[in-house]
Each structure stands twice: as structure tokens, then as C-alpha cells.
Amino acid sequence: MGGMGTIHDDNGTSIYEQNHTMTLNLLKATNVPDTTDTHFFYASSACVYPEALQTDCDVSLREADVFSEGIPQPQSLYGLEKLNSELLLAQYTSKINIRISRFHNIFGPGGSWNNGREKAPAAFLRKALACRHLIGESQPVPDFEIWGDGCQRRSFLFIDDAVDAIIKLLPSTHSTPINIGSDNTVSIQELAELALRCAGARANFIYDNSKPVGVSARNSTNDVSRSALDWAPSTSLWEGMEKTCAWIQVEMDTYLAHHEKRAEQLTFAILLPITSRGSTEPGACLSHLRNFVQSLKDTTWRDTHPSADQVFRYVIYLAVDADDHFLCGGNRAYQTILDLGIPSIQVHQLLNSTHPKGHVCNIWRDCAPQAYDNGCDYLVLMGDDVTLKDEGWMRKSHSAFLNFSKSSNLPLGLGCVAFTDESFPGMPTFPIIHRTHMEVFEGQVIPDTFTNQDGDPYLFQLYRRWGTSTMFPCRLTNAIGGPGEARYEKKRTVDWSLAPLAHAERMVSAYLQTHHNYSSSQVRDVRKLTLDVIIPCYRVDVAVLSAVLSLEAPSTTSVNYIIIIDSPTSPQIPTILSQFSLNPNIRIRINKSNLGAPYSRNRGLSESSADWVHFLDDDVVPSPNLLFAVSDAIRANPSAAGFVCSTQFPPANIIFTTAVHLSGVTYFWDIATKIKTDVPWGVTANLVARRVLFSPHLEQESNPEFCGIPLPTKFSLSYPKTGGGEDIDYCLTQRATHLELFRSANDHNCGEQYPGFLAAPQGIVTHPWWDNGKRSYWRFHRWSVGDGHLIKAYPDLSYRDYAPNSAECFLICFIFLSIGVVIGSLRVMMLSVEITGCVVLANILHDVYRHMILHPERTKPLNVTRRIRRNIFLWVSAVMESALIRMFSELGRLRGLLEKREWKSVGKRFDWFVGRAPENGPRAEERRNSVERIGLMVVVFAILRGLRG
């Protein structure tokens, strides 16, 4: 319910969605059988009538007029929703007794009168009573504001008459919409004069044409209500206004009695840099400034009203470049603000004479101390080309800070509130901070390292660590800047989320201990664990992403999501943006072209500012407790380099998926269930890595000042963008870097006890079979191309094999075949083909021997359906196909070596267990298998030769 201050176009979408959802929920809640014993009353509105009919002064609206203009054209989305709900209810008339009233401006005692939702009669009576109260105090005749020119006409129905009509409508047989309203119109000007007479007051009328006014005229025709209900209004407008005025007078007296001691006034400092540079014409900046100041007035008018529960005021700190001759000449910017009605006492002008143009963060740093010294309670880091859109942002941001303090057990003021920036969805721009922040940082609002970018997210992410940052639902738009071009050269602050953020966090911790007597353990308790989930996204599957983004997390952990879309032409991108981009916990970035998973993960790392990052693939299905399991693992083992979680596959129910398991391709996907400590590596489908080495909640007793050494580990781009090898390389680099920093930070040798990557087997995701299990070997071949590069990159983790593998045998056969072609020897060519066939056959036979005779127990843990296991034909077929997959993978590794011209690496193998398995383990077995396969190949060749005789 609300007047034109609530029901207008800016609120249309949300009002439509909320109202229609409520109606649908009520219909579902009835849950009645097919009976006509149930009555369902629906309160509709005169806003359903076409706007085109409501332009003449003498308009009277009949129930049938809704469709008189052809396609209905109700007033605003509010009216459209009411009409659609009427049509929806019409579908239920055979099951429920539907009664629908179209109300025309109901007023009277008990209604809204001072909260922004009041209609014109109550609003005018409140203003009239306030005028009577003000006469003789501040001015002889106070002002009385009317929205519009006062010529718009309405009819108003007293609440008692409305109730009488409802009581008659319910037992009637009238099931179609019916007008319930007065059929006597009055102009808004006349209504205002009537309100003053009721209150016994005088006033000067002022008119604000910038406010919403609705249609020109509206009146009810009551022919149907008279004939169907024998009803007509019995209370005159004068009588209804008198009764309502008396009631509001009592309400106001009660209110004032409880607020004799006016609430303390809170001051918001608007830090406002302005420049004329970069605009198409110098005067454009003043146009932006006028828009901003007008929006500032429009969105704070209630908060700055003396009758508000908590009174707020704002002061503008206008910062102009000293050499901006256009603005400085005649103090144009300053004068523009005064011309818009802002008192000079609320405007402070500062000249920027020390910083280069466009150094917005430097200017904020100049303004903030002055605002703090002047006693301002809140600081708003603003821009001159911003338009504020939602009324009440001052009281709502203050309420957010109060809630922060209550929910986090932290002192009031430790926090950051950011506007919802419609021009840069999801980015916490233009933050609001408390003067406490200035106390913590000794008068500096943001560090010197920031020039004109990243100061906003820095503040937001700092207080995210304490659970006291939010993007509240008060909107703004930014005319220039955001993700696009700005009027100045954007200068990013490199690695601000590492050392600068860690230093700031340490200062907050020190402030709590020195100024509020927090112990180190108390600081750790109130500090949240921060985790960023990074998802390189090529498939752009909305359903899969929705499942991940809806995961619940512990209240002690702050989780953000960073989605890097690597398919910029995907048709699903608009859907993703519309569903998730406004969520401050979800950041969506789009690569300009398909750059691959390693690049996308690196971009995600550069966007991250958390203690830990959690890499997920864009096709996994997470278990509901995934983030709980990860958080538990981190808190139980805070010194680990990272955690390898468990990635499962659905049961293999066909030959190919069974063969994938048997080939060893999926062995390391669930390595967390096989190795608990110092896990060799894990796949990035479900991998957690430390981003910063230690934070205040992980301090060492021996070194309490130590805090936050960054781990600069990134994915190497030397591996194929389709994947392969980069996950192993990342884990090894992360472990080595962390070990080195861990040792230097703790100043002792921790090599033997160093945990490296630990297993987190409870953190489970399910990875679907690629292409739903469709047979293809090329995926594994491409991965192996990247794996081959590991041999040269990690020579200490590589070893020389005793015999060539299948790929190297194929290479030898190809060389002999080429020689045969060159010399024209058919015998050499045929011999090469025969040996190739023997290599294939020998590898298949050897894998059948390994899986079915030598080590059948190794296949028992594989997630394979009973149908496959019990059918000997299917099982043998899967074993044979697994040999083909393995040979394709070996060909991929050889291809990778040859393409990079790493000739010396041919014949070498990479140790997948990276030296952590016994020497007589996987290395020895791999060498033995190679020798056995070569031997078997010779035997097969000899047998075939013997058979040929």
C-alpha cells in the first residue's frame, strides 16, 4: 500500500514481482477442494483502468472500462499486476467464491500518515498539523508542499464506507470486479485547502513538479455497487477528513511526547571530487553535478526532516583541481550547489593543488581528514557523475552499521556499506564508512598506494574479513566510468589485495586490542575465514552454476564467487548476468576471447582478495555441505598449503566409462580418499589453495606481529589452454613457495612436519562423464600433450624408462615406414605395419593380464555398476578399451615433447606421485610394465611369424 511516493515507475518491477508472488502464495495456501463454500476476497485498485481515460476532469470509471481501449493500458506495473491478478482469480471462480473490489483512494484513521506510504489525505493533514505547530516558531506562515500543480483530481473514500461495502460484497453473488470508491471528485489543491481548514492552520503553497503525480483525473462510477450491493458512500469528504485529522493529531502528540528529546543528529560527509576535464564540453560536468545534487536532495528529504526518528544531515566536501580554470572561475561548481538550495554552511570547497588530475583516491584522502576533524559521523566516497536513486539511504546505511555491531560483537563503525551500482553490477563502488575507520587508520581513509582505482573494493574486502561489509539495496548510476572508459587514465593498484590488505587487517586487530581490550583469541574469534570460489566457465550452464552459487556456508566463513566466462559469444551470458550480477558476493568477468582455463583461473586469482581460493570446474555438481567441509578442513589445519578435495564420477555403466577408470585417467580425481597427508597433487575440478600465508587469526605465538605474506602462485600458461599438466605444476609450485615462506616466517626447519597439500575427502563434488559418456579418446590425448611438458619442467621428478612405451614404439615404426617409403621397400613398410599391430595387441594383452590376473583387487574400488562387473564379455571389453585409451594418452605425451622439441625427454617418464611414493612403487612398476610389454610384443611378433611359416 502506498501513495505516489511509493507506487511509481522506479519501483514498478519489484512491486509487480512481490505483489504477484503474494497473491500466488495465498492461492496456493487455500488448498481447498472443488467446492464453492470458500470465499476469497481480493483487494484490487483503480490503477487497473487505462491511463488514456483519465485525462479529462470529469472522468468517471466504470468496471467495463478496463478493456474499452483494446489492449489494457493500466497505470504503471502496479496497475498491471492488479489486473493480471484479477484475470488469474477468474480462473478459480468454479472452485472458490471470488470477490474483487477495485478501491479508489481509501483513507481514514489507522492508515499510514508519516512513513512514506501515506496517501494524499493523510499526508496533507500531517503537513497541515505541522504548519499549525510551526506558526509563530520559525516563520509566520510556513510552506506547504504539493506534488505537481495541484490540478489533478481524485475521489477519496472514508474507511468506514469501504468496510461497509466489503461486508455487503462478501455474502453477495457478485463475483466480477466492482468499484468501491467515492463518486465525488476534488482537486488536490482543494484537498490541501480542506486539510488546512481541518487543522486550523495557514500556509504558503509551494509546488514540486519533479515528484510523481499520477494520472490527471480519476473518479469512481458506483452504478454496479448500488444495484448489486445496495451500497453508496455515506461519509462526506469533510467529515472523513475531520475524523482523520483528529486521529493524526493524537498520533502526532504521542509521537512528540516520546521524542521531546530529539535524537542526536548524525552527519554524512559527501566527499565529492569534480573535474571539467575529459567532458565533451566543459559545462557537462556542471550538468552531472546538478543531477547529483538534485538526487541527493530527493533521496534524503525524509532523513533530514526534523520529525524523523533519527535526524541526519549531510555536508558536501567539494574538491576541485586548482588548475581547472572553468570550474574555479567564478566558483562555478560551488555556486551550482548553492543555486540548488543547499545552504552554504553545508558545502566546503577544497582546491587540489598537490595531486595530478584524476587522482581521485588522493583527493578523497585530502577531504576525509577535514570531514573527520569537523565531527562528521559517516564518510561517503562519491563521484560527481553519480545519480542516487533510492530515498532513505542515510538511515538504511546507519541501520546497517548498527546491525554490524550487534551481529559481530564489534565496536560501532567497523564496517563498509556500498551502494548497488546499476552501471557496474556486483562491484562495491562508492562506499560509506564510519569515523571509526579514520580512528583505526590514524586519519587516512585509504593507503597511499591507491591512485584512482580499487579504493572502493579495498575497503569492502577489508571489512569482509570481519563480516561487516554489505552492498545494501540503495541504487545509484554512474554516468561515466564503471567498467568502461573514464575521464582519466585508470591506474590499477597492483596486488592491493595482498600486502596492503594484510597490513590494514593488522591495524584493525591492533585497534581492537589497544582501544577495546580485545585479546588475541577474541580477535581470532570475530575474524571470519574468507574464501573465494573461482570458476572458469566455458560451458555457461545456468543450472550447474545455480547449484554452486546457492551453496550454504558456515556463518564463520565469508564466501565470494568469481566466475570467469571464457566463452564470450555464449547466448547464456545475458541470463547469467541478469540472475547473478547484482549479488555483491558474485563477481562475473568475461574474457574477450576463449583464452583457456589456466588464464581464466589466473584472472580469478587477480580478482580474489580472500585468504583461500577454491577452484571448481563449471560442470561439477557439489555436495550440499561442500563449503562446510572445506571450512572445517582449513580451520583444523591452518598451516597447509592447500586441500585436495574429492571429485567423484557417476557409476560407470557402459564399456567406455569403465575403460576410462581402468586406464588410470581418473585415479587422481579422488586421490583425497587414498592419501591423507602431503597429497602429491589434485585436479582443479575441486581444489583449495592458500592465497595468503597466514593472517591474524593464524598468528604464531612466537611471532605475533607476523601477518600476511602473499603467495604469488599462478597457473603457467605454457600448458595447453584445454588443460593437461597445469594442475600438477600449480600444486608443485604452490607447495614449494609455501614451504619456503613457511620456513622463513617461522624461522625454523619444518621440512619433516610440513603438511603441504592435505586431503579433504568430505569436500565432495560429482563430475559428470564428459559428453554424457560418449566415446572419445581425444580429450585424454590433449591432456597428455600438456602432461609431457612436465618432464622438462621437473627433471628431478622424472626418470628414464627401461623400455619404450607404446607411443615410442609407434614412433620407431613410423620412422621405419618412412624409410621404406623413401627407399621403395615394400618389405620394410609391411614389417613396420606388422610391428605396429603387435604393439597394439601386446599392450591390450598385457592390460588384460594386469587387471584380471595379476592385480584384480585394484579394480574393486572402482565405481562400476554390477552389470558391467558380472558380465565377463563387457568387463574384458572394457579392459581392452582401457589399453587403447592409455596408448592414446601416451601418444599425446610424446606429441607434446616433439612439438616443443624436447628431444632429450623422449624415453623419460614423469613421476605422478612426485617422489612421495616408495622407489620400488609406481616407478619400478612402470618400468617393469614397459619391459613386459616389449617382451610380449616380441613373443606376439614371433608367434605371428611362426604362424605365417
Give the number of C-alpha atoms closer than 13 A to the C-alpha of residue 340, restricted to the C-beta side. Answer: 20
- Which DSSP symbol is given to 862? S
Residue type, 46: A
CB contact at 8 A, 380 and 295:
no
The cell for 847 is 592390460
Rounded Cα distance between 433 and 456, Å, is 10
616 Rama class: left (phi>0) / alpha (psi -120 to 50) / beta = beta
Burial (0-12, 13-18, 19+ Cβ within 10 Å), 841: middle
Q: Which candidate, 760, 713, 768, places its Cα nearest to that of 741?
A: 713
Rounded Cα distance between 734 and 744, Å, is 15
Rounded Cα distance between 842 and 855, Å, is 18
Distances (CA, A) of 514 to 116, 411, 440, 509, 510: 44, 13, 10, 9, 6
Q: What angle do CA 346, 347, 353 make, to 5 degrees?
A: 155
Give backbone dihedrals phi and psi of 296, rounded to 5 degrees, phi first. -65, -45
CB contact at 8 A, 149 and 207:
yes
Burial (0-12, 13-18, 19+ Cβ within 10 Å), 845: middle
Rounded Cα distance between 854 and 873, Å, is 19
Q: Which candidate, 307, 344, 394, 364, places its Cα nearest to that of 130?
A: 307
CB contact at 8 A, 367 and 271:
yes
No. of helices (H) and no. of strands (E), the chain: 29, 29
Rounded Cα distance between 219 and 221, Å, is 7
Rounded Cα distance between 442 and 428, Å, is 24
Cα torsion 804, 809, 812, 814 to 10°: value is: -160
The cell for 95 is 472452485
Rounded Cα distance between 716 and 723, Å, is 11
CB contact at 8 A, 178 and 169:
yes
Rounded Cα distance between 544 and 344, Å, is 55
User: Which one of the listed residues 16, 42, 78, 799 is annotated catalytic?
Assistant: 78
Give the number of C-alpha atoms closer than 13 A to the C-alpha of residue 519, restricted to the C-beta side. Answer: 4
> How many residues are listed for the chain in this entry?
949
Rounded Cα distance between 450 and 444, Å, is 12
Helix (H/G/I), strand (E/B), else coil: 705: coil
Rounded Cα distance between 897 and 881, Å, is 25
The cell for 96 is 472458490
862 Rama class: left (phi>0) / alpha (psi -120 to 50) / beta = beta
E-assigned strand segments in 382-430:
386-388, 416-421
> What b/e string do you get for 868-892 counting C-beta neighbours within 10 Å, with b at 16 or more?
bbeeeebbebbbbbbbbbbbbbbbb
> What b/e string do you get for 627-646 counting C-beta neighbours within 10 Å, with b at 16 or more?
bbbbbbbbeeeebbbbbbbb
459 sits in which H/E element? helix 455-464
Decide if 78 is catalytic. Answer: yes
Helix axes 826-849, 922-948, angle to 10 degrees: 130
Rounded Cα distance between 679 and 640, Å, is 11
Active site residues: 78
